[in-house]
Structure 1
Amino acid sequence: MDLPILDLSAANDPTRKPELLRQLRRALFDIGFLYIINHGISPSTIDQLTDLLPSLFALPDEDKAKLSKLNSPHFLGYSGYAEETTLGKQDLREQFDFATELPVVYNGSGGPENGHLANGSSNRQDFSQLYWRLRGLNQWPNLAGFKEAFTAYHDAVQELSYRFVHLIEEAFEIPIGTFDHFFGSHQPHDSPIEGNRPDNNDLSTFLPPQHRIKLLRYPPSPPNPDTDRSQTQPQGVGPHKDSSGWLTFLLQVGNNPGLEVLSPNNRDWIPARPIPGTFVVNFGNAFEAATEGAVRATTHRVIAPGPGRGDRYSIPFFQGLPLDMTVEEVRGYIPERVRRLRREAAGGEAEGVAASFLDARWSSLGESQLRKWIRSHRDVGLKWYGEEVVGYYTAS
């Protein structure tokens, strides 16, 4: 099975657009992964950033240490080789985490009794909530031209992500711009579901969300004569669904393969090989939960390069949503005919749908994000949030 390749130039051609939307619906509801071509981002914008990746990762260890995530309550900065974990196993990669450059807004005193929304409800503009500590400034490397190249790339992919959301709205057959206020762009639309728009919150007061970008290097794994490579493959990053955003736009740099996508039958791994000029797009846990499983947040993994293969680089962009939004609020903008698709296909309740969001403690997107980061980087959580908070978020 091959992942679909969607040509976004068809969005501007009335004769080709219906087929594009048909392909998008199939990717949304059946597969959860796709490639996009003719996406509108200039090769020079991409090259200016990717050309700097070898120099970035070749910075002296003492310079990388100065950018450590341990310096950041926002979980932004550098993580060394095998410092991040997935499902309790070390990921064989090193990375820099950056985000939309936004000011700090957190003004609370901490502690889980003050920092979480136990009832899962939103508390608009209450910046004492612990999850607001995730929002803050980047740690920039001392590398000529990097900040400018990163910012240009971030802004271009951000704009692409908003255009792609408009195509999803058309695939859902709801008004274009329905989701714009999630991103601080426009005043809110009425919900497509009568009576479902919250009447006790002004949704126009959402702060623009902070998108996150990882710059990843997977070095080739060393030979291990004691390992049966037919049975064991080195974990670049283990099987997971994306929990860091609404949509993911992945740039695979160069030709080194590694990304694999779990098939709809949950038995086979589909290679998502690098294709020049493309982004790989997939959908996050929050999207799956908001659509009650109709849109697939598909499990995927990365196999680290084998000996002699050279470094693999990739750049995922995770499109964020407001931290003080809840999955229930997002769901209010998803038509019922979309949300019942998975249930109808399954003949009942859809299984395996972003189970973490079914727990009221994590229904707030900010709560879910803070839990994810603390579980992935326990050392950062302990330094900035303390043992009590880390215990709360890692207990289950």
Structure 2
Amino acid sequence: MDSKQRSRPSPMLPILDLSYANDPSRHHVLLEQLHDALFNVGFLYIKNHCVSAETISNLVTKLPKLFDQPNEVKAALSKLNSPHFLGYSGFAEETTLGEKDLREQFDFASELPMIWKESSDIPVNNERARDFTKLYWRLRGPNQWPREDLVPGFKKAYTEYHDALQALSHRFVHLVEEAFGIPVGTFDDFFLPRSGNLTNRNGDYMPPQHRIKLVKYPTSADKSRGQGVGAHKDSSGWLTFLYQVGQEEGLEVVGANGDWTPAPPIEGTFVVNFGNAFEAATEGAVKATVHRVKAPASTPNPRYSIPFFQGLPLDLTVSEIRSYIPESVRKLRPKSESMKDNGAISSFLDPRWDSLGESQLRKWIRSHEDVGRKWYGDSVVNFYLQ
């Protein structure tokens, strides 16, 4: 880590320079920093990540117009229209830990067709038979797009950003594999589809659908009490890459001493953290760190953020992921640490939710109960709310 990074105000999270990956003399430095972040911190910043400023700016500049559409226009894109939980959520419509989050947001994802089938008459896949009547396959499907005449160029800007973050996430996973000391490409089966085919190169898993939230937190003049987002670990994917727009702060992370550590915007960086599935697959060795967003207190400007959640195949289980990770890595969990947070065991550690599809459906129903009841029915929702 260079002197400029060492001299930053404390407390702060590590900043990793991904350009070191292409420098033989500093590659090992990057891997050492990443190893420390994986096993001791769970959150970090990355810079020199090769996502162009233009790609980021093209999407960021669309956000005010996207959110400033009339309420009835945004409501026409409501998640209530989507069994995939994609679309618009109004202010305080999403729940974290039973409390309303003081934000509004649009949820988008990799643009993919529906594959869920209501009928049990399913043709057998020559490579791997799949039961597409399983309810979790209903999570997978197309986006609800804003009208081009109201937010010109949005779909193009979003798609370019999505593709750039998808590529970044693949590169970063390869660095994680190096930091683990396992062969580069070990996890490619989970992420890299075979060209022109729905299945990946080995035909084992359906390629994942990554998700992106476009989030607007209100100004302090709008609301000043409550949670922007309550304390949580990310359960929507493998890795999260967060772009914080502007200089408005709010993100906080639980530090090693248990105190809340601010993670303010730093120009030219993404904040990276590891999801619940990552922690569970490594038996707690890799930290999925608890974090939150405080509601605005004194800012005259709204806060925008863009988290990208690197998806995993819905027909994958945490147990299967764990089989790819050497026991030597899984044993790196500090003996003093528990797999519990505030008395709540991660849902991924409950054998009922070993299936990623099941755990994802549970997550979305618990966050948006109204959408769940409309598309999945009361009995399904009541089951997942237990």
Q: Report the CA distance shift for 1:77/1:349 in structure 2 as closer, same or farther (over 3 A).
A: closer
| Equivalent residues of 1:124, 1:206 under 8 A apart | no
Give the Cα separation in 2 of the matches to 1:182 and 1:348: 29
| Aligned position for 2:383 | 392
| Aligned position for 2:363 | 372
1:132 to 129, 137, 161: 137
Superposition pairs of residues 195-214 of structure 1, within 5 angstroms: 204-214=203-213
Superposition pairs of residues 233-382 of structure 1, within 5 angstroms: 234-266=226-258, 268-342=259-333, 345-346=334-335, 350-352=339-341, 355-382=346-373
Q: CA offsets per residue over residues 117-162 of structure 1, 9 Å max, x none?
A: xxxxxx9521111000000000000121000000000000000000
Does residue 32 (structure 1) correspond to residue 42 (structure 2)? The answer is yes
Give the Cα separation in 2 of the matches to 1:128 and 1:184: 24
Give the Cα separation in 2 of the matches to 1:347 and 1:36: 29
| Aligned position for 2:5 | none
Instruction: Tell me by how many angstroms 1:346 deviates.
Output: 1.5
Q: Report the CA distance shift for 1:340/1:36 in structure 2 as closer, same or farther (over 3 A).
A: same
Q: Report the CA distance shift for 1:311/1:347 in structure 2 as closer, same or farther (over 3 A).
A: closer
In the superposition, the TM-score normalised over structure 2's length comes to 0.89
Q: CA offsets per residue over residues 325-357 of structure 1, 9 Å max, x none?
A: 000000001111110111xx2158754596312
In the superposition, the TM-score normalised over structure 1's length comes to 0.87
Count, aligned residues:
359
Give the Cα separation in 1 of the matches to 2:300 and 2:62: 20
Give the Cα separation in 1 of the matches to 2:129 and 2:232: 31
| Aligned position for 1:180 | 188
Give the Cα separation in 2 of the matches to 1:96 and 1:144: 16
Give the Cα separation in 2 of the matches to 1:335 and 1:31: 21
The answer for unaligned runs of 5 or more in structure 1 is 111-122, 188-201
Give the Cα separation in 2 of the matches to 1:350 and 1:302: 23
Q: Report the CA distance shift for 1:131/1:265 in structure 2 as closer, same or farther (over 3 A).
A: same
Q: Secondary structure at the match of 1:165?
A: helix
Q: Percent identity?
A: 65
Give the Cα separation in 2 of the matches to 1:390 and 1:348: 33
Q: Secondary structure at the match of 1:78?
A: strand
CA RMSD of aligned residues (A): 1.9
Q: Report the CA distance shift for 1:354/1:44 in structure 2 as closer, same or farther (over 3 A).
A: farther
Q: Secondary structure at the match of 1:176?
A: coil
Q: Report the CA distance shift for 1:60/1:347 in structure 2 as closer, same or farther (over 3 A).
A: closer
Tell me which amino acid in the other structure corresponds to 1:252: Q
Instruction: Tell me by how many angstroms 1:309 deviates.
Output: 2.7
Give the Cα separation in 2 of the matches to 1:223 and 1:127: 44
1:169 to 154, 173, 177: 177
